[in-house]
Each structure stands twice: as C-alpha cells, then as structure tokens.
C-alpha cells in the first residue's frame, strides 16, 4: 500500500532543537553591550519565529528606529554564530525519530527563518547526514522568508518532491501560515515555543505532544 506522504519539511527552532537559551543569551549579550535592558527567557520565547532581524526589532526597546539598531543586529549575529551550540540541544526523542524516518525512506529537510549559515551549522552539528537539505533565511537573494512559501518550495525542489506528497512540521503560528501558504498539510508540535491551546487555534492536521506521535500520525495517513 502506498503512503500519502514521502517528504517531511521540518522547522528548526522549537521543533527539532531547543535553541531558546542560546538565543536569549545572545539577545541579552547584545542588549547589555549597547546599554539596553535585558529580556526574560519568556519574552524571548514570544519574540522568536520570524527570523533574527524581527527578534532583535522586538528585543530592542526602540526597535528598528534605534539609531544604532543595525550595529546591535550585526553584533548579535556575530555573537550568536559563535555561541549557538552552548546550551542548544535536540529535544528528547528527535534523533530517534529522524533515524526511524530515514529508515522508512522519507525525504527530509529543514526550513528555518534563522540565518542560513547558522541553520546549516546547527543541522550538521546535531543531525549529521540525517537532514541532507537545510535552508535558512536568504532574503538578500530575493527568497522570501516564512510564512512565504519560497524556502519550502526550494527545499521540495532540492528533494525532488512535491507539495502533494509532503507534510510540514513546526511549532508556531508562522509555521501554520507557512504550510497554508505552500498548500501543504501541517503537523504542529506542543514541546516548542508556543502553548498547545494557541496551536490548536490554527487547526493543523494534528498536534504531536512527543516526537513518537509523529510516526503514529503519519502511519494513519
């Protein structure tokens, strides 16, 4: 019997990796360096999801209107690039999930709003060859970031797959919107950066409460 999906597009932060503490540490290091008040972990949790430019826009009190905003942003990017693997870890059960999906011959990719070099670095560090396609933010090249579907379509093209046979897995409103804009089915995970009740309001195909749930959900499609 043929299965409905042969391809999975994963979000990264809050879905595969718990990156929140390293992001918060980087945000606060930048804010402190430029004489701004630091942010709580929960504040940073609410700020993430739309890429690091928007993360810093929300974290800096004056936002992008700050005269030194570009300097703060560039300082954060450099700091985070050098400190992105200090506290970051894969969520429990994620490596096992990816190995099982690989064994079942699913095509898999990461699509993230984190800057591209960091996405590739983190994917190699934590997942090795399990996720052969990793795509981050690259709007300078004219590729719109999520929730636009551009990076998802790029991943599908590189995997040799189609929207009809792919499912998107993420943890936020940005991910739900990305899947919708790409015309893909969506599974949201409750262990990430958003509350389960909020995720349910986006009406995904399913909500996974632990990585093993994803295998169960896919087996019934």
Alpha helices per DSSP H over the chain: 20-33, 41-47, 52-59, 69-82, 94-103, 116-127, 150-159, 173-182, 196-201, 211-219
Instruction: Say how far residue 207 (Cα) sits from the centre of its chain.
Output: 16
Q: Three-state SS for 160? A: coil
Per the annotation, the verdict on 11 as an active-site residue is yes
What is the C-alpha to C-alpha distance for residues 107 and 112, in angstroms, rounded to an integer? Answer: 17
What is the C-alpha to C-alpha distance for residues 114 and 51, in angstroms, rounded to an integer? Answer: 5
Longest CA span, the chain: 61
What are the φ/ψ torsions at residue 148 (nearest 5 degrees)? -60, 150
**Contacting residues for 49 by C-beta, under 8 A, at least 6 apart:** 13, 14, 113, 172, 173, 174, 175, 193
Distances (CA, A) of 148 to 76, 82, 101, 179: 25, 28, 26, 9
From 11, 13, 25, 150, the catalytic residue = 11
Catalytic residues: 11
């Amino acid at each position: 019997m043929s299965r409905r999906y042969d391809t999975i597009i994963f979000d990264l932060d809050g879905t595969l990796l718990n990156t929140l503490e390293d992001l918060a540490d980087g945000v606060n290091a930048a804010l402190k360096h430029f004489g701004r008040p630091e942010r709580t972990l929960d504040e940073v949790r609410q700020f993430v999801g739309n890429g690091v430019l928007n993360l810093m826009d929300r974290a800096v009190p004056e936002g992008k209107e700050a005269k030194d905003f570009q300097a703060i942003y560039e300082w954060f990017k450099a700091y985070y690039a050098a400190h992105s693997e200090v506290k970051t870890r894969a969520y429990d059960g994620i490596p096992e999930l990816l190995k099982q999906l690989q064994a079942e011959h699913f095509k898999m990719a990461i699509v993230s709003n984190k800057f591209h070099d960091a996405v590739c670095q983190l994917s190699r560090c934590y997942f090795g060859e399990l996720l052969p396609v990793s795509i981050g933010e690259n709007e300078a090249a004219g590729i719109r970031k999520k929730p636009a579907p551009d990076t998802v379509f790029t991943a599908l093209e590189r995997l040799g797959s189609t929207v009809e046979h792919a499912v998107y897995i993420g943890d936020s409103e940005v991910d739900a919107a990305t899947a919708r804009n790409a015309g893909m089915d969506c599974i949201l995970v409750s262990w990430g950066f958003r509350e389960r009740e909020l995720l349910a309001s986006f009406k995904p195909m399913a909500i996974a409460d632990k990585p093993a749930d994803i295998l169960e959900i896919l087996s019934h499609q």
